[in-house]
Every structure is written in C-alpha cells, then in structure tokens.
A and B are shown apart, each in its own frame.
Chain A
C-alpha cells in the first residue's frame, strides 16, 4: 500500500512535529510512505476567503502529484476535508478528480483503513478532545451533536489505545473554536470570543492538554491562551498516538 504524505503548509512551517509523528505512525504500521516535495498548500485559505479560482492551480498540481498513491494522508482534518469536499467541484470540466477519493486525515486512516488495535507508549495526562468542525461535519471523525445518528468518535477510539491517558470532552463538544481561516482576521472580535469560550470549556474538564486532528484550531486557541496566560497546552493527536514510537 503506497501512501503519499500531505503535510499542509502551516503544519510544515509551524508544527513539523505533527508531520513527523504522522510519518512515524505510518512507518510503525509498515506502510510504504513517501512525501512529494513539491507540495505546498491545498488552497483552502483562498477558497474560504472567496478566491477559489486561486486554489485551482494548486488543486490541479495536488491531483497530479498524488495520482499514483493508494491513499493520501494528512495530519490536518480541515485540509483533508478541503481536498475531499471541494476539489471535485474545483476541477470540474478539467478531469475527474482522483485525490478527493484518496485523501484521509491520519485519524481516519488509522481507524478505518489500518484498523489499528494497539499502540505502544503511554501518555499520563488528562486530555480534552477538540472535535474540529471540518473533522466532524465533513470527514465524519465523530458523530455531529446536531444529528440523530449513532454516537461515535474515532479520535477517542484511537486515544484509548494509549496507556495512562485520561480522555475528556468539553461541554458543547463540537462547537466551533472560531478559527475559520480568514474569518479569524476578518471577524476578530467574534473569533477571539469563540476561542476564549472554547478554551474555557476545555479547561473546565481539568485537562492539561487539548488535543485534536486539526493544528489550525490548536494554533488559534494556543495563540489566545498564550496572550491571556492560560495554563493549558495544545498538542496534535498524532503526537500523542506516536508517544511510544
């Protein structure tokens, strides 16, 4: 099974440790992983801001670059979701989009494809799970709280494989943290308020760490927490899952 690693731009620059952890996890389970070096960004920031046309050349390149892989795996739910949900429409009229069928977030891949049942290592901490919007509502990493569907949470299923961990979820478990890409710089007041509310609910669980599949949400909350001197840490879920590797 050939897997192409997609390390989104901001993970590459700001959170390479999430990329490394993802790589280690895939290697640990014997997956043939490679990283096409010409990759940059999926185009979501421009698309969400209203400039989807600027995402088009990126989508085209992305689709070519990952054409020959069985799966494309990314440590970022939102970027994976953008490829999955929006690329077919963006590339409409050019050629049939293939990457949208192959893209997966690392949580989804470990849970649904590799179906892993054990992981080495321990994480002796209380963590609060951040169910990011696009992870929940576009990728289906957990059951959206608005729907009447059977309850599940793939992130929690995986975290449970780690020794010593105490897993919590905040009240309003899948309310938005207020990042939203360009939203956070265009609607600063509401975005910050949403982030503060979210951090507060995560902290109310008694958690030492907030973890989730989306570094962008974590970046937003970490930026607010640092500015406001909140005593809480943020870590991508892949790093906890790779704790023993």
Chain B
C-alpha cells in the first residue's frame, strides 16, 4: 500500500546520516520561527489578522485587482492578464522579443516554476539567469527547488563547490568554504546583471491601494535584477494582493519570521513604476486560482503567502526531502496545492502526513494545511484513487466496529494472535506494521471482559 511519496521517502531514508542532517537543518529553521513568535506579544493577533485580511481580499479579488492595475497603469506600467501558464509564458516571450532581449536575469519566483517558464523561454532562445544563489546553483546543476524559500538546502557544500569548479565559477580547487563560494557566485552573477536586457521579479505582495509591487529578498538580487536592465517584468499570481499598507505591515512582520526566522528580509522593495528610461510590465496570472476560489472546502488555501514554515515544521518533509513529493512545491502546502493543480497526478502526496497538525500552528495565514489534507483524503474515493489495501482494511474495521457481537468475538480470540512469532510478521510486504515494529501483545482479557467479570 505504498505511494510514490512513501517509496521515494524510503529511498531517502536509506542514507541515515543525510536524513538526520536534513531533519536538523529544517528543525533549526522551525526553532528560529518559535523564537521569533515568542518575541512578539502580539504574534497570535498578527496571525488571525493575516488570515482575516486574506479572506477578505480573496473574496473581493476582482475589485482589488482593478484598483491595483489601474494604479500601476496610471504610472505607465503595462499590465497583462494571463489565464494560464501558457498564456503567461507567451506573454513574457512576446515582451522579451519585442525588446530584442536575449538575456534575462531573474529573482526567485515560484510562479515561474509553476508555469515552467525557464524551459519555455530557453527553447525560444532566451538565456534566463537565476540570480538567487540557491536558484542559481540549482539551475547550473539542472535540479529543481527542494523547498520554496531555501531551494538548495538539500545540497552539501562539496556538491556546490565541485559544480562551481566545473563551471569555472570558482578557481581554488577544493575550497568549499560557503563564504568563498558565495563570493565566487557574486563575481560571476555581477557580470550577468551588467549586460542582461531584462530583469524579472516575482511579487510577494501587491498593494491595491497604492499600486506597489513588493518583493522581499535577502540577497538584494531582485534589486540588482531591476536596477541595470531597461526592462522589468513582474510575474504575479492573483492571490498576492493585499488591500493597503496597514495590511502589508501585518504580512511583512510575519513572512520572514515564519520562513527563515529572521525579523525581516534584508530588502523589501516597493516598485510602483519603471525607473527612468526603462519600462515595467506586470503579468497577472490566474492559472487555476479562480477555480480554487470556487472550491467551498479548500478555497482558503489561497491565503498562503509561501513562507515555507509548514515545510520546516513538517516531521515528514524533514525526513523525506523535497524531491519525495510529486508536485514542485513540497511539504504540507505543496500537498494541498498539488491537489488543486492535478489531483490524479498528485494525490499520492496525501500519504505524506501523520496529521500532527504542527503546520496548522505555524502557518501565518491560518491556512491549516494539515487539516486540509484530512479533507483531501476524503475525496480520494471519488477520484478513483483510494488505495485498495487501505480500503479493505477500513471496510474490515468498519464491519467489525459496526457489529458489537462480532467485535466481542474478535476480542475473545485476539490473544491467540500473540502465539504468532514475531519473526512471522516481520515481512514488510504482507504486514507493513512489521517492518519496524514488534507486534503489540493482545491483553489476555480485554477491558470489556474485565468489566463484565466485576470491575463495575
């Protein structure tokens, strides 16, 4: 009864030391989150406000998008509307072609991952250079992010260092010091910023009231990407809107504290218009989000601000890694988003949750990704994706528990199961419980027998 996730997780867990390291890496981020939460007396108030503001904004999205886009257009920003990933990709390519751009630097954007923009642009002759260090490393290694905030955290310094040597980015052979490697990347990327024809950023928040596109980075790469090229393209999902600066303050305070456990990112950049002599384009993307709004059970998933806190706290993510999931966003929120994106394809991720609900508690916007996973599991049968073995077990339990006399009889004979030697049940494919557990011993007398015999 294994799923794709559980099979991948099993392979991941074969390297015990690396699993330990991975778990500790992300637990450290979880602890930093806790530290941050405890330093602000108003922490829980901020979370409930964030949730309420998002609920309001999402259910008034069309109005806010009109206001937001009108504000930007009044200052000369060109706004595009993309219904799906292919419209988004085509729009970006059109903008680049019409400006004769052959190289674009970009800062991190999960939306462009979602739309698989890089391969599309590359196919059409555009050189796309990721400028977030983690993303750049992954691009050169031809890998995907394993986490949405710290995308290359699954890699060891040696893996990065060897690749930098091969690419000619680092010159000192065998020097895998992170400071040295970061310097080498800085030098290499600096050249890219100088001659790129366009810079692309994502958008952490769009402020409807003022028409600000707000981008948060620690490296300053969004600013580098937009300070030199004469063309700035923003990729923005519709759910990124907030009404005004007062709302933005709430999210600004939560985003980084939850994600990396810092009180803020180093740079929070507000773009309202193109810089002098340049042009700014904004592509607003739906790609399934408007359908999410119509989903009565799961629409609040749109409140997510992509901080990554749910991944860091998830005991399953920490011990199975980002690549064990079939959707490009891993962890609790990724399990949910995958179900929206393509339930047939991504429902196998639903097993990756022990329902511990820690993610519900760290989520700054109270999306409750763990509780939502329980609900998604209820839709598996209708999708024709219920696991047969699990269904048989559940039907068996159901028959037993709905029939008290049968249940009584079963209890009476249960202790006989103790006679089966442990070694017989240590056969993983027949009895998954026996993979790592000794069987529990049935009591000689059940509670109900003891009750009848005079406990009362």
Question: Is A47 part of the binding interface, using a Cβ–Cβ cutoff of 8 Å?
Answer: yes
Q: A186-B387, A194-B319 in contact; A176/B358 too (CB < 8 A)?
A: yes
Chain A residues closer than 8 Å to B401, beta-carbon distance: 9, 40-41, 43, 58
Residues of B within 8 A of A190 (CB): 6, 9, 13, 315-316, 319-320, 352
Q: Are A50 and B377 in contact (CB-based, < 8 A)?
A: yes
Check if B394 sits within 8 Å of A219, measured CB to CB: no
Cβ of A88 to closest chain B Cβ, rounded Å? 14
Instruction: Determine whether the beta carbon of A183 is less than 8 Å from that of B402.
Output: no
A146 touches B319 (CB 8 A): no
> In chain A, residues 38-90, which have Cβ atoms closer than 8 Å to a Cβ of chain B?
38-41, 43, 45-54, 57-58, 61
Q: Are B356 and A188 closer than 8 Å at their CB atoms?
A: no
Assuming the contacts A7-B448, A223-B437, A227-B437, asked whether A46 and B315 have C-beta atoms less than 8 A apart, the reply is: no
A22 to chain B, nearest CB (A): 9
The reply to whether B456 and A34 form a contact with Cβ atoms under 8 Å apart is yes
Q: Does B194 contact A (CB under 8 A)?
A: no
Q: Which residues of A contact B404 (CB under 8 A)?
A: 37-40
A95-148 contacts to B (CB < 8 Å): 133-134, 137-138, 144-148
The residue in A188, A192, A222 that gathers the most chain B C-beta atoms within 10 A of its C-beta is A188
Known A-B contacts A20-B450, A149-B44, A187-B6; A51 and B353 likewise in contact (beta carbons under 8 Å): no
Q: Of B13, B41, B390, B452, which contacts A49 at CB under 8 A?
A: B390
Q: How far is the CB of B425 from chain A (nearest CB, A)?
A: 11
Contact status of A13 and B414, CB under 8 A, knowing A191-B354, A192-B435: yes
Q: CB of A31 within 8 A of chain B?
A: no
Question: Do A186 and B440 touch (CB < 8 A)?
Answer: no
Interface set, chain A 176-206, CB cutoff 8 A to B: 176, 178-197
With contact pairs A145-B34, A184-B433 given, residues A15 and B443 touching in the complex (Cβ less than 8 Å): yes
Q: Are A40 and B407 in contact (CB under 8 A)?
A: yes
Interface check B427, CB cutoff 8 A: no
- Please pick, from A53, A181, A187, A188, the residue contacting B5 in the complex, using a CB distance under 8 A: A187
B397 touching A12, Cβ below 8 Å: no
Residue of A nearest to B19 (CB): A193
Contact flag A49-B432 (CB < 8 Å), given A16-B445, A16-B450, A133-B358 = no
Q: Which residues on A sit within 8 Å (CB–CB) of B160?
A: none
A208 at interface, CB cutoff 8 A: no
B381 touching A50, Cβ below 8 Å: yes
Closest beta carbon of chain A to B215's beta carbon, Å:
27
Q: Which of B6, B379, B391 contacts A189 (CB 8 A)?
A: B6
The answer to whether B455 has its CB under 8 Å from any CB of chain A is yes
Q: Which residues of A contact B70 (CB under 8 A)?
A: none
Say whether A187 contacts B9, CB under 8 Å. yes
A192-B400 CB under 8 A given contacts A9-B407, A48-B377, A180-B353: no
Using CB atoms, name the residue of chain B closest to A78: B355
B267 at the binding interface (Cβ < 8 Å): no
CA distance A172 to B28 in the complex (A): 11
Cβ-based interface call for B245 (8 A): no
| Interface contact B436-A13, CB-CB below 8 Å | no
A227/B443 contact (C-beta < 8 A), A41-B397, A50-B386, A186-B390 known = no
A20 proximity list for chain B (CB < 8 A): 447, 450, 455
Query: Of B23, B378, B436, B450, which one neighbours A197 at CB under 8 angstroms?
Result: B23
- Expressed in whole angstroms, the minimum distance between the Cβ of A27 and any Cβ of chain B is 10
Asked if A220 is an interface residue, CB under 8 A from chain B, the answer is: yes
Given contacts A12-B411, A50-B377, contact A23 B455 (CB under 8 A): yes
Quick check: B448 and A12 within 8 Å, CB to CB?
yes
Query: Is A28 among interface residues, defined by CB-CB distance under 8 A?
Result: no
Assess whether A11 is interfacial by the CB under 8 Å rule: yes
Of the listed residues A13, A23, A58, A194, the one surrounded by the most CB atoms of chain B closer than 10 A to its CB is A13
Contact between chains at A146 and B451 (CB < 8 Å): no
Bound form: Cα–Cα A14–B447 in Å = 9
CB of A226 closer than 8 Å to a CB of B: yes
Query: For B227, what are the chain A residues with a Cβ–Cβ distance below 8 Å?
Result: none
Complex Cα gap A133–B360 (Å): 12
Chain B residues with CB under 8 Å of A196's CB are 436
Residue of A nearest to B360 (CB): A137
A145 cross-chain contacts in B, Cβ below 8 A: 34
> Cα distance A46–B41 when bound, in Å?
40
On chain B, the residues within 8 Å of A49 by CB distance are 377, 390, 393-394
Known: A37-B404, A50-B381, A186-B390. A16 touches B443 (CB 8 A): yes
Given A176-B354, A184-B433, A190-B6, answer yes or no on A51-B391 (Cβ-Cβ < 8 Å). Answer: yes
Closest to B357 in A: A137
A223 touches B439 (CB 8 A): yes
Is A175 a contact partner of B397 (Cβ separation < 8 A)? no
The answer to whether A183 and B351 have CB atoms under 8 Å apart is yes
Cβ of A29 within 8 Å of any chain B Cβ, yes or no, is no
B436 near A52: Cβ-Cβ < 8 Å? no
Known contacts A51-B386, A187-B316, A223-B440; is-contact A148 B38 (Cβ 8 Å): yes
- Kindly state whether residue A170 has any CB partner on chain B within 8 Å: no
Residue A224 at the chain B interface, CB threshold 8 Å = yes
For residue B362, CB closer than 8 A to chain A, the reply is yes
Distance (Å) between the CB of B152 and the closest chain A CB?
22
B442 interfacial by beta-carbon distance below 8 Å:
yes
B350 at the interface (CB under 8 A from A): yes
Nearest-neighbor residue (CB-CB) of A7 within chain B:
B447
* Chain B hits for A51, CB < 8 A: 378, 381, 386, 390-391, 394-395, 398
Contact B361 A182 (CB under 8 A): no
Minimum CB distance partner of A41 in chain B: B401
- From B3, B10, B43, B358, name the one whose CB has the most chain A CB atoms within 10 angstroms: B358
Interface residue? A35 (CB, 8 A): yes
> Distance (Å) between the CB of B326 and the closest chain A CB?
14
* A-chain residues with CB within 8 Å of residue B390 when the two chains form the complex: 49-51, 182, 186
Chain B residues lying within 8 Å of A46, measured Cβ to Cβ, are 394, 397-398
A4 within 8 A of B: no
Q: Is B240 an interface residue (CB 8 A)?
A: no
Look across to chain B and name the residue whose beta carbon is closest to the beta carbon of A43: B401
Q: Establish whether residues B357 and A138, one from each chain, have CB atoms under 8 Å apart when the complex forms.
A: yes
Q: Can you name 18 A-B residue pairings with CB atoms under 8 Å? A: A9-B407, A12-B448, A14-B443, A39-B404, A40-B404, A50-B377, A50-B381, A54-B394, A133-B355, A146-B361, A148-B40, A149-B44, A187-B352, A189-B13, A190-B6, A192-B435, A192-B436, A227-B422
Given contacts A52-B378, A133-B356, 14 further A-B contacts (CB under 8 A): A12-B411, A12-B448, A16-B443, A37-B404, A54-B395, A137-B360, A144-B361, A148-B37, A148-B41, A181-B355, A186-B1, A190-B9, A194-B316, A195-B436
